[in-house]
Structure 1
């Protein structure tokens, strides 16, 4: 085999192996590879591949509930910012069992990126009771009553370790967003993924971190179409900042947009 042909084959083979590795990671994280049954919180007790594809159930064992569509979106956008040299770390605000962040760290590992971090922002104690006086949109919210949403930092760390991905490139911001995010030691972000389920959590994350997202970076909102308070927080924030992004659909639940200079665009 000639040198040029060998080099071409090596590039193609590397790409194939990375793709296989990340596809396998996604299937493991979402539970589709072992078809674990869902928690009964949403009424079902049997594995349904359609529900799992779109993240419409709460898995009993899998490391994320966001489904394969939204996992694929994370991979697409992370690979985009890496390929285009968009500066910054990655963060998810609201990590549950850690699956979305595990995927981000796996992508960095696959491409041998050593100068970026994945930030995990979470109370690791579940969601806060709604502050109805300050955030009326959260009135009646009962996410704080679900024990299934209370995942400890030790559990998340153990989940990372199962994939061999808990290291110095994983950083933790433990506590309520209003306390941890405003002074977080983050210079730039390439990916800001919001999964806080409430108006308050969404607002706190946008208010503290949006101005750290690099031009060309992305904002992902997991709960946009299923939590009215989340959607209202996004709309209110963008209106106050006079931003007019074209929100891109992911799977009928989540949306994302790319940050541009002074405004936001698709």
Structure 2
């Protein structure tokens, strides 16, 4: 399976394709999703054995018990591919993910930087590291009825995320944690430019707060990735509200059933 070609073959044809990096990305994606064991590892949820479904895991439609990402193979490959495009095209700025769970997608992006020998860019991991906030239904009615704040498995602390990076020998001073609710942290972030911004906040509130704070800092030619666009209506609404307000017409490219990206013109 060649993960890089799952993204956009016409773009890869423009240059920068590296078969060695491709092998690294494929191995990382299979490890991050815990597909490397091919279903041999027991899956236990709520005390019950759950049958491993390779199709669901590859598509990012289940939650790995011991894996480091629930994004699936295509979205992880997209993280790698767009990180590499940033480098090939010399787009200035750092990389940030807002909403990181166990850190798998961010680790993939840091891995590409390391594989390419890049030492002057950082990967920022922004998260409460306490799960998602209760819905503020008065200010953000699109989040009415949201139950994400009740899902304990979304509460992953910095220690566990740090262990993810350590497992792949990627924990160093090019990785920085931004701890707190997005409304309290992102607009205060003292970073001049980003080359790649990945949003994975699930809710309207988390998505709109992240894009409002970070999109103005996204370099021309940089990339914006949205993990939950296809799967969560509130997230999709936030994206289109922002695009409409700011007159953004850059084409949106589909990754899989839920992930999308566009390039800032």
CA contact (8 A) 1:38 1:58 kept: no
CA contact (8 A) 1:39 1:58 kept: no
Q: How many residues align?
A: 245
Say which SS state the counterpart of residue 181 (structure 1) adopts: helix
What TM-score do you get using the length of structure 1 for normalisation? 0.89
Say which SS state the counterpart of residue 61 (structure 2) adopts: coil
CA contact (8 A) 2:122 2:174 kept: yes
Note the C-alpha offset of 1:49: 1.2
The answer for the alignment partner of 1:247 in structure 2 is 252
Give the Cα separation in 1 of the matches to 2:227 and 2:125.
Answer: 15
Q: 2:100 aligns with which of 80, 95, 106?
A: 95
Q: 2:220 aligns with which of 211, 215, 220?
A: 215
CA contact (8 A) 1:37 1:59 kept: no
Equivalent residue runs for 1:1-266 within 5 Å? 15-34=18-37, 35=39, 36=41, 40=45, 45-260=50-265
The structure with the larger Rg is 1
| 1:112-146 superposed Cα distances (whole Å, 9 cap, x missing partner) | 00000000000000000000010000000000000
Moved over 6 A (4+): none
Give the Cα separation in 1 of the matches to 2:81 and 2:49.
Answer: 30
Say which SS state the counterpart of residue 201 (structure 1) adopts: helix
| 1:43-62 superposed Cα distances (whole Å, 9 cap, x missing partner) | 99221111111100011011
> How well do the aligned residues superpose, as a CA RMSD in angstroms?
1.6
Gaps of 5+ in 2: 1-17
Give the Cα separation in 1 of the matches to 2:61 and 2:166.
Answer: 26
Change (3 A) 1:181 1:31: same
Say which SS state the counterpart of residue 85 (structure 1) adopts: coil
Note the C-alpha offset of 1:25: 1.3
The answer for the alignment partner of 1:5 in structure 2 is none
Gaps of 5+ in 1: 1-14, 261-266
What TM-score do you get using the length of structure 2 for normalisation? 0.89
